[in-house]
C-alpha cells in the first residue's frame, strides 16, 4: 500500500488555469528539475528539486526519471466501456453505425463472464494510455457497471460510470423500460456512488432512445441523490438532430429536450455538441453543464468540427473525450493530435498548453473534481504519469531538436501515444509500468 512517503524527481509540468482565461504563461507551472512528493495516496509537495530536497528526511525513497516528464493523469470525459470490442468499425455514420455495430456488441454485457473480461481489458487500456479518471458509459445491463466498478475498485481508481437508460428506438434485446431503468439505476447508485473513489452517472443514452417517461425519471434520480453525475450525447450528427426534432416537436431544439426534463446542471456532461448554436452554449454555461469534445470520434463518424472558440466565448466547461468505440484510440495524446487538426480546419489554433489543460484540469473542472484531480497541487490525489521522451526512435530524435517545453509538449501530443506512457500512478500506487 502506498501509505508511505515517496518522492519523484523529473521534469514536471501541470496546468493551473485555463489559458483562455489567464493567458498561456499564467496557465501552467513547469519545473525543469522538479520534485513531486507523495504521502498516503495524496500529493504533499511539488516544487524545484533544489528547494525541496533539503526539506525531506534523509531516508525518503526518491525515484529519479531521466528524459521524462511528469504530468497529472489524463481525464477522459467520454468513453463507452462496452464498445471496446468494436473500435474501428467500417463505413457508417452515427445512426447506422449504432444499429450495425454498436448495439450487437453491447448486447453481450448482461453476461458477467464477458463483462468482467472486457472490464479488465478496458481498465488496463485506460492505464496504458495514462487515463486515470474516465466518465464511462456502460451498456443497458447493470452488470456492465458492476464489472467496471469492481475492476476500478481493485486499483482504487477515480472512475465515474452509469448504466445506459434506453427504452425505445433500439433492438428489443437491448431496451429497458422507464420503470426498470429507474429501479436498476437506483440500485447501482446505492451500491457504488461515493464508494472509495467511485461516482455514479445517470446515463440516458441520447434523446431518441428514451421516452419522455424515462427522461422524467432520469431527472428524478438527479434530484433524489446529491452529487450524482448525468451523461448523455447531444448534437453530434445532422440526421440525429433532425430525428430529435421529429420525436420532440414541442421542444425548441435538442438541448431544450434535456433542459425540459431537468438534466442540465453542474455535474451534467454532454458528449460532442458539434452542432450546438450560440444560445445553446450560453444555456449550457449558465447551468454549469459541460461538453465533452471528442475530436477523434467526430472525424471517424464524419460528424463535424467542434467549435471550441464558441464554447470559450461562453466560458463553457469543456473536457476531452476519446468516445471509444466511435473514437479509435484510448490515447488522449492522440485525441489532442486530432483536436489540433479540428482547430486548423476552422482557421484557429490549439496551443499545447490549452491541449494539456483540456486533457487534465479542464476535464477535472468539467467533472467538478478540480480539488482532487487534474493538477499536481499539494492535497490532490496522487494520480500522475511519467512520459518517456525516448519512447520511440522518432520521438527521441525529434525531441532532441525541441528548444523549450512548449515545443516538447506539442511534439509529445503529435507523435505520442500509449508507448509514451512509461508509468501510470493512481492514488500513489504504480498501476501501469510499460
Ligand atoms: N449517440 C448515441 N449513442 C451513441 C454512442 O454509443 N456513440 C456515439 N458516438 N454517439 C452516440
Ligand atoms: Zn459516445
Report the alpha-carbon distance of residue 243 to residue 253 in Å, rounded: 11
Q: Can you list the residues of the chain whose pLDDT is less than 50?
A: 1-2
Calculate the CA dihedral of residues 41, 116, 143, 191 and round it to 10 degrees: -20
CA distance 265 to 287: 5
pLDDT tens per residue, range 366-420: 999 999 999 999 999 999 999 999 999 999 999 999 999 999 999 999 999 999 9
**Ligand 1, closest atom to CA 236?**
10
pLDDT of residue 4: 79
**Spatial distance between the Cα atoms of 248 and 137, rounded to a whole number of angstroms:** 24
**Three-state secondary-structure class, residue 169:** coil
Q: Are the beta carbons of 331 and 359 closer than 8 angstroms?
A: no
| Cell digits of residue 339 | 483536436
Pocket mutation for ligand 1, best pick of 76, 77, 80, 335 (most atoms within 8 Å of C-beta): 80
CA angle 183, 236, 185 (to 5 degrees): 10
Residue 144 · residue 81 · CB < 8 Å: yes
Q: How far is the CA of 316 from the centre of ligand 2 (A)?
A: 19
Alpha carbons 261 and 254: distance in angstroms, whole number: 12
Ligand closest in space to the Cα of 300 = 1
pLDDT for the residue 1? 47
The DSSP result for 209-240, as a single string, is GS-HHHHHHHHHHHHHSTT-EEEEEES--HHH
94: enclosing H helix or E strand: helix 94-97
Dist CA 88 CA 249 (whole Å): 34
Question: What confidence score (pLDDT) does residue 3 get?
Answer: 54
* Ligand 1 nearest-atom number relative to CA 102: 6
Residues in contact with ligand 1 (CB, 6 Å cut-off): 80, 94, 98, 102, 205-206, 233, 236, 297, 323, 326
User: Cell numbers 487534465 label which residue?
Assistant: 360
Closest Cα partner for 328 from 10, 60, 84? 84
Q: Output the pLDDT for position 209.
A: 98
User: Of 106, 236, 270, 306, which is best to mutate to test ligand 1, by the most ligand atoms within 8 angstroms of its C-beta?
Assistant: 236
Q: Locate cell 422524467: which residue?
A: 216
Is the distance from CB of 141 to CB of 163 less than 8 angstroms? yes
Domains of the chain in start order, with CATH, are 5-72+375-433 (2.30.40.10), 74-330 (3.20.20.140)
* Main-chain phi, psi angles of 45, to 5 degrees: -160, 150
Secondary structure (3-state) at 376: coil
pLDDT digits (tens, 9 = 90+) for 123-133: 999 999 999 99
User: 98 alpha carbon to ligand 1 midpoint, in Å?
Assistant: 7
Q: Which ligand is nearest to the CA of 78?
A: 2
Residue showing cell 444499429: 99
Nearest CA to ligand 1 atom 3: 205
Amino acid at each position: 500500500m502506498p501509505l508511505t512517503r515517496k518522492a519523484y524527481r523529473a521534469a514536471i509540468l501541470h496546468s493551473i488555469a485555463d489559458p483562455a482565461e489567464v493567458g498561456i504563461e499564467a496557465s501552467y507551472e513547469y519545473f525543469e528539475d522538479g520534485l513531486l512528493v507523495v504521502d498516503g495516496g495524496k500529493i504533499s509537495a511539488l516544487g524545484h528539486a533544489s528547494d525541496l530536497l533539503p526539506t525531506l528526511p534523509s531516508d525518503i525513497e526518491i525515484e529519479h526519471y531521466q528524459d521524462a516528464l511528469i504530468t497529472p493523469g489524463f481525464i477522459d470525459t467520454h468513453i463507452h466501456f462496452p464498445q471496446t470490442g468494436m473500435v474501428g468499425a467500417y463505413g457508417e455514420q452515427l445512426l447506422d453505425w449504432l444499429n450495425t455495430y454498436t448495439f450487437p456488441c453491447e448486447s453481450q454485457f448482461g453476461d458477467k463472464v464477458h463483462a468482467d473480461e472486457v472490464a479488465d481489458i478496458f481498465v488496463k487500456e485506460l492505464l496504458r494510455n495514462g487515463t486515470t479518471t474516465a466518465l464511462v458509459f456502460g451498456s443497458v445491463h447493470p452488470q456492465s457497471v458492476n464489472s467496471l466498478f469492481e475492476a476500478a475498485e481493485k486499483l482504487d481508481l477515480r472512475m465515474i460510470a452509469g448504466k445506459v437508460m434506453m427504452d425505445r428506438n433500439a433492438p428489443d434485446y437491448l431496451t429497458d423500460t422507464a420503470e426498470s431503468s429507474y429501479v436498476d439505476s437506483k440500485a447501482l447508485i446505492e451500491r457504488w456512488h461515493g464508494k472509495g473513489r467511485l461516482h455514479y452517472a445517470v446515463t440516458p443514452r441520447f434523446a431518441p432512445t428514451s421516452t419522455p417517461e424515462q427522461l422524467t425519471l432520469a431527472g428524478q434520480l438527479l434530484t433524489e441523490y446529491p452529487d450524482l453525475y448525468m451523461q448523455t450525447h447531444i448534437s453530434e450528427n445532422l440526421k440525429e438532430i433532425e430525428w430529435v426534432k421529429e420525436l420532440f416537436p414541442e421542444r425548441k431544439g435538442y438541448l431544450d429536450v434535456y433542459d425540459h426534463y431537468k438534466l442540465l446542471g453542474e455535474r451534467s456532461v454532454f458528449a460532442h455538441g458539434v452542432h450546438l448554436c450560440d444560445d445553446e452554449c450560453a444555456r449550457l454555461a449558465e447551468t454549469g453543464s459541460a461538453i465533452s469534445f471528442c475530436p477523434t470520434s467526430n472525424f471517424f463518424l464524419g460528424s463535424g468540427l467542434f467549435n471550441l472558440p464558441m464554447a470559450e466565448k461562453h466560458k463553457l466547461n469543456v473536457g476531452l473525450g476519446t468516445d471509444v468505440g466511435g473514437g479509435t484510440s484510448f490515447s488522449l495524446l492522440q485525441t489532442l493530435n486530432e483536436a489540433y487538426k479540428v482547430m486548423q480546419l476552422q482557421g484557429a489554433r490549439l496551443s499545447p498548453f490549452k491541449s494539456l489543460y483540456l486533457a487534465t484540469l479542464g476535464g477535472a473542472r468539467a467533472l467538478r473534481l478540480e480539488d482532487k484531480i487534474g493538477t499536481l497541487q499539494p492535497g490532490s490525489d496522487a494520480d500522475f504519469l511519467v512520459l518517456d521522451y525516448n519512447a520511440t526512435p522518432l520521438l527521441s530524435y525529434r525531441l532532441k531538436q525541441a528548444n523549450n517545453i512548449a515545443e516538447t509538449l506539442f511534439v509529445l501530443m503529435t507523435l505520442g501515444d500509449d508507448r509514451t506512457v512509461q508509468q501510470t500512478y493512481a492514488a500513489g500506487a504504480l498501476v501501469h509500468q510499460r
